[in-house]
Structure 1
């Protein structure tokens, strides 16, 4: 098993391995240019799994043209210890999500917005979401962290989503943490 440094920006999906963030961004641009009048959601979320001697963190990046398909990739980080404290792990998950969200700087966001802009009056949309693997339900152990984590996402200008709407973290990324 390869250990990744937190500053390693290597992404992969079923088709490609070792993509740089710039390559990921170009895939997103290409995907959006296929149907510039679409309804796009750019979603970033992280999940983790504690194993015997390490903790695996998977951050998913998903661009969805609602009802018309997606393009997605993941980034894998392995921390060589068991992170058993829930708040530490949830906070680190969110830090990894924030890290990727920050790579979508103003220039990059504007480039994506400019793809749909000519089609806004025909209903084209673009939104960026941060998916947080926490829930507000009474039986959910993470409910006490909801306000803190949601505020962190909002402070980045990203629409926060928690369970059950945080499927990039709780479903897509989760699949690769095992």
Structure 2
């Protein structure tokens, strides 16, 4: 993805506003470098909320070290209209997740992999997941979109997770859509 595109995207969390992607990446690197023998999951997911005059989308990035903690941030995108079509909203949520995932080029992923690689034989691991705010249950209105959205995540080389395992979208991002 073009470098100028990445420079126009900003992220925030409870501690920092207007973080560049480079700053976000550095925070993830530093989080992993604290204990390179850990089991890390880099997770992405988007949720949305429809309001009377806009639809708010929040895309979360979460780096988790199993049983040791997390570092997280999010990107906010506001569309100045009510997006009432469920397919349009779910598809756009997935698109926003894909955009953020694509910022993590192979070079960036290799930097993160190289942090844990010397410790793989001591149990270290690194996985990347795309969390989609949809469910496969028969009563879930989004179940008809599951195959398509999972396929889109898998195409990026990201392990897709849906409800109830898609907590970055359904819990973390959801908190900031309100």
Aligned to 1:26: 26
Instruction: Measure the CA separation in 2 of the matches of 1:96 and 1:22.
Output: 18
Deviation at 1:9, TM superposition (A): 0.8
Instruction: Measure the CA separation in 1 of the matches of 2:94 and 2:8.
Output: 17
Quote the RMSD (CA, aligned, Å). 0.8
Aligned to 1:4: none
Aligned to 1:129: 129
Aligned to 1:114: 114
Instruction: Measure the CA separation in 1 of the matches of 2:67 and 2:137.
Output: 28
Alignment of 1:6-155 (within 5 A): 8-155=8-155
Gap runs ≥5 in structure 1: 1-6
Gap runs ≥5 in structure 2: 1-6
Match of 2:58, SS? strand
* TM-score where L is the length of structure 1: 0.96
The aligned length equals: 172
Instruction: Measure the CA separation in 1 of the matches of 2:77 and 2:174.
Output: 13
Aligned to 1:3: none
* TM-score where L is the length of structure 2: 0.96
